[in-house]
A = this chain, B = another copy of it.
């Protein structure tokens, strides 16, 4: 199932080394002005080779809109966006044809489908997320009209943890190549990533995402709770191993009297004193900040020899090759934002039919 969303729906397609990847966005309301530069800016935040701590592989993710936009505005028709793959046939991937790389999807794809596109991960490659970022850019344009603001940043690399988001200026995130808007922490994170890269290894981390100015009423009980969809959306991103919102796993250690968010009347608006709820109660947004953490495992491709087996069960050695990210979280920040805005755009439309 390569479609996500109920009303604002995206369908992505494409393999890492096929001719192109892309996305069809269906259900975007008509009349939305499309800023193509903004889409490119978002793609550039995700692209490889953007800084010294990412892969040095160069890909210029330029896109074409094939449909759904006329004279600069959406028409209500599906919006197809295609991003060509560059040099997709230049490399030799035959060494991967039969080998199952550890902690990649090689084995499971072959077990499920009976065959696989073994060129660089094929459909399971994180390259697919570029299509999500392009679609997310359009969702962001829709959310801007409602002044909803979605900002993600790197809150942890390995065991280097940034302070709580409430103490940070998230508008500065892009000033740091590691995308953590806290100077001292950012410096340490960069040092750890550099060290890891020199060790021919990789390291995991956590991205925190904060949504301000969300209206009340987003989320659909009982299965499509706002945090349940955010969770699914985040867990659908490559390398993600966990999701928590509001007080999360730590909050389970609290008592109810510590954890409950009392309501107060602030100048005519109902607010909560604390926000352990993370802006969501009963699966529906309550107007407070929504915040959540997304756990990313260390990248599976390492520049070291590893033991594995091939598709005939023979023992083989997998040797790391190519240029890969020592830590995926800096480049994953726009992907987390993209999936978050896609969820919100969908719920924003769904909320329009909640009452007569």
Contacts and interface: CB of A to CB of B under 8 A. Distances in A.
Interface of A: 1-4, 6-7, 9, 11-15, 18-22, 24, 26-27, 29-32, 64-68, 70-71, 73, 75-80, 82, 100, 102-105, 107-109, 111-117, 122-124, 128, 142, 145, 156, 158-159, 196, 199, 201-206, 216-217, 219-225, 227-229, 231-233, 235-236, 241-249, 251-265, 268, 270, 272, 276-278, 280-287, 293, 295-302, 304, 306-309, 313-315, 349, 351-356
Contact of A241 (B224, B245, B285): B245
Contacts of A259: 103, 204, 297-298, 300
A62 to B, nearest CB: 14
B113 A75 contact: yes
Given A103-B277, A227-B241, 17 more contacts: A14-B67, A20-B66, A30-B112, A30-B356, A66-B82, A67-B123, A75-B116, A102-B263, A103-B256, A108-B285, A112-B217, A124-B222, A202-B255, A222-B236, A256-B302, A260-B302, A352-B352
A356 B31 contact: yes
B286 A108 contact: yes
As for how many copies of this chain the complex holds, the number is 4
Contacts of A100: 263, 270
A227 B30 CA distance: 22
Contacts of A306: 257, 260, 262
Contacts of A295: 244, 248-249, 251-252
B260 A103 contact: yes
Contacts of A298: 251-252, 254-256, 258-259
Given A13-B24, A77-B122, A256 B301 contact: yes
Given A241-B245, A256-B201, A298-B259, A3 B13 contact: no
A130 to B, nearest CB: 12
Of A241, A280, A302, which is in contact with the most chain B CB atoms at under 10 Å from its CB? Answer: A241
Contacts of A203: 254-256
A245 to B, nearest CB: 6
B107 A263 contact: yes
Contact of A105 (B108, B196, B283): B283
